[in-house]
Every structure is written in structure tokens, then in C-alpha cells.
Structure 1
């Protein structure tokens, strides 16, 4: 899928269930990576950081609870939302799952429609533009549903790549993004683009943001990358 789609890591050892969930997630516009074991899931998280993880409790080898514990104990992965799926409906199990760090706990059998809603709820915290929310930073407003950007209430003309760049920046103002991270998020992991292309599009974004005046809000961090604000 093209860059910009929210990335879901689906960890489920039951093939039929994995395919049903994958189909529904992709129908909702998510970019889905699938894993059938805990070890595979941990490897995939290291290779390509997902935006959210849908994680089955009962897995061969490393359990879902242990994966959740490991990911939530690491600074680089602790902010990834995890939705735990489990056939264990007892309150003590639900509490154990949440105490291990799961952001939500869904008991099997569950409604796929409800699970999709829970995925969107978690993404609303971490990737708000991906679920259609408006983003605001100082005098800039981005409407992800209409694909329009305003600064000082005047509409700006942005190309699609510049729009995705600005969305990435506005979802996490102040965060420094390396060129490689921006390539991955904006262009997508399956497309080869030279890192110098990022600089070109950052230049275009800066020009677009200042087309009606105002200071350039995009900050260059030497040796690290770019940030908004």
C-alpha cells in the first residue's frame, strides 16, 4: 500500500482467523503485516515499526502476554498500542492483560465490526489523521478528510507528497524525523526513493507553508532530520 496508511501488525496463529481479520483490516484501509508466532512478531516489529498491534494471547512459543510485556518495557516500542485478543473471559485474565501493558482487551468470540472500531479508537490517539481527524499546530490547520490545509485561515496549495509530509509532522509536533523514517512513513516501505528526495519535498513544503507569509515552522536538526516546531 502507499505510504501514509496506518500499519497494523496482526499476530494470530489460527490461519483462518488470521485471514478473516487481515481481510477486514485491509478493507478498512490499513496496511497489514501478519505473523503466526510470537518470535516472528518480535522480529517484524524490529524490522518495521507498526502503528498498532492486534495480538492473540495464545501463541506457539512466546505467548502474547510475554510479547506485550517485552514491547511495553522498551522505550522505542512502548507507545505502540496493543489490542490483546483472548478466549480468556475471566476478570483476572483481563486485568492481567491490561497490567502487562495492553491498551485494550477483546474476548473471543468477538464482533469484527467492534474490533475494527477499537482499532480506530487506539489509532485516534497515535495517528489521528489516519482516522479522519483535523490536526492543528499554531496557525496551521489540516483537514485529513477533505485533504485541505489552511494557515491563518487561508487555504494552501500542497502536492500529495507534501500533504503526507505535513500530516506526519502535525501528528507529532516537535518530534525529529530522520530522512529514512520520513521515507518509510510518507513514501512507503516497498518503494525505493533516494533520501535526497526528502530534502526536495521538504523545500516544497516550506515554500507552500509560507505562500501567504509567516515564518517557516519546519526545523532542520543537523545530523538528525526535520521537525515541526
Structure 2
């Protein structure tokens, strides 16, 4: 998918049955991207950026992702240093596994795409889902949150999250930036910047001006194809 004559970066919004993606489509266009909703492998691999949305249960999203070979396409893009942005369950499936609907059944966690080690588990809170606006503890030097004022709020809708960051670094590569939030008795990962792979537990497309700034920051990192 070549970039348009306006030199807007091309973004493939992965269509794998994860729910309503119209708001993400509109938000990305407002952020300056030329957006195509697609499951075509060639389009996904050729785009300047790939967005992986996600609404619903972890296992169901992974089943839909595998049906369109999305996990392989994500891996191929990242192997080539090509940007990927995961949103909500689209962030969760980047981890090794998720326990949603497996608790109390004796079943193991449903496998994820495995780009990061770790398990998506139920938050420890009296009120679930965690629904509404919350602040994020942003790591120093973030490009994702560049320009964001202190105590900026973002919109979350989830009952599960990743409560430990388990990726070890060898000191030879830049360490990922991990950003955190809290709900109830749980501290959980709100967002990650790891080279070409960025992801947010919250919904930037539903986070008003704060989310729009974040999406502009991501789109601004994309280099339009010649």
C-alpha cells in the first residue's frame, strides 16, 4: 500500500473480527495517516505502520488473529523493524498468554502472540471492569507521551491486565519504556514502547485530546514509503 500523494504515512488497521474499529479508523486519519482496514497480508506488510485493535476476551481475539495469520504478520513486521501499535486487547495479545475464562477450570492460560514474556491476569479490585478515565505513570524519555502534561488522563475499559514486566535486557539494546497505572489493589502495565512495537492498555482513540496527541506521536514516527 503506497503512501498517498500528500505523503501521509500509510497505516493498515488489522481487521480480524475484534470489534468496532471505526473510532480507531477516524482517530488515525485525524492524526495524519492514510488508513486502510484490511486483513490482506501484502497490504499489512507494505504499510508504514500496523495497528492491532482489540475488544473482547483474550482467547477469542487470539483465535481471530490466527485465522488471518495476524500473529505471523506482526512477527514479520517486527523482525524487519516495521512499526506496530497494539491497543487494549491488541496490547494484551502481544504477551505470552492470558488466563481469561481459564480461571477455576484447571486449564492453562490461552497462548498469545508471544512478543513479550508475561501473562494477562485478572486485576485485583473491588470494582471491575476498570472503566473510565485514569492517569498513567509515564517513564522518563517517552516518545509516546511526548507533550503530555502531568496527570493526563486516558480512557480504560478492561478487567484483565499485565501486572509484571518480565522481559530481561542484556544491556546491549535500548531497554523498553514501560508505563504503569493503578486500579484497586493492582498496578498494571498501561503502555509499552519497545523499539518498533508500541502498545497501550487504554484506548487512545477514545481518550479525547490526550489520545489524539499520542496517536499523532506514533504516526509522526512512521516513514512514508517512496
TM-score by length of 1: 0.40
Question: Which of the two has greater helix per residue?
Answer: 1
Question: Which of the two has greater strand per residue?
Answer: 2
Q: Which one has the largest radius of gyration?
A: 1
RCO greater where, 1 or 2, for CA within 8 Å and sep 6 or more? 2
